[in-house]
Amino acid sequence: MTVSANAAARVVAKTPPGPAVLVVDDNPIIRQIHRRALEAEGFVVQEAEGGARALQVIGRSRPALVLLDLMMLDMDGFKFLDQLRRRSDAADLPVVVLSAKPMNDLEREYVAARAQGLVRKSDKAVGEVIALVKQLLAPPAA
């Protein structure tokens, strides 16, 4: 079993782990980039290489949020969102969609109705993703 440096640091510091984020992308390099950035901010990260696998992971251990690539080989993000929103155990699960795909108005409306955020993949996307994940998972103000 491999333990990341961030996870090891939390054990040493005895700080509780943050919420779990499921990173769904068929590109292992992109998953690793987001894993490192999210773990550096204290989040626990789960990974799935496609939509079908992500639905299985969610069935076993529901994350606090899903970070979803739109264009994947086994099941695209549109189909994943449709299936996720039909599930009683995950219909309200927050989703942030990542996409390099130019979307038409209909596709943007589809995503907007089913996800809590849309981030265009770019060199600056990781920082934008982290800010959005923190905002969506921030505890409610007292």
Residue 26: inside a domain, yes or no? yes
What is the distance between the alpha carbons of residues 124 and 132, in angstroms, rounded to a whole number?
13
Q: In this structure, are strands 95-99 and 65-69 parallel, antiparallel, or unpaired? A: parallel
- For residue 85, the enclosing domain spans 18-134
Q: What is the pLDDT of residues 32-79, one digit of tens each?
A: 999 999 999 999 999 999 999 999 999 999 999 999 999 998 899 999
Q: Which helix (H) or strand (E) holds 119?
A: strand 117-120
Residue 9: inside a domain, yes or no? no
Evaluated on CA atoms 73, 86, 53, 38, the torsion sign reads positive
Residue 66: inside a domain, yes or no? yes
The encoded tokens of residue 37 equal 């950035």
Average pLDDT for 83-109 = 93
Residue 62: inside a domain, yes or no? yes
Residue 64: inside a domain, yes or no? yes
Residue 142: inside a domain, yes or no? no
pTM summary value: 0.85
Q: What is the pLDDT of residues 106-142, one digit of tens each?
A: 999 999 999 999 999 887 789 999 999 999 998 877 6
Residue 6: inside a domain, yes or no? no
10 Å Cβ neighbour count for 25? 25
The domain that holds 124 is classified in CATH as: 3.40.50.2300
Distance of CA 47 to CAs 68, 104, 108, Å? 10, 28, 25
Query: What's the domain count of the chain?
Result: 1
Residue 122: inside a domain, yes or no? yes
**Cβ pair 19, 44 in contact under 8 A:** yes
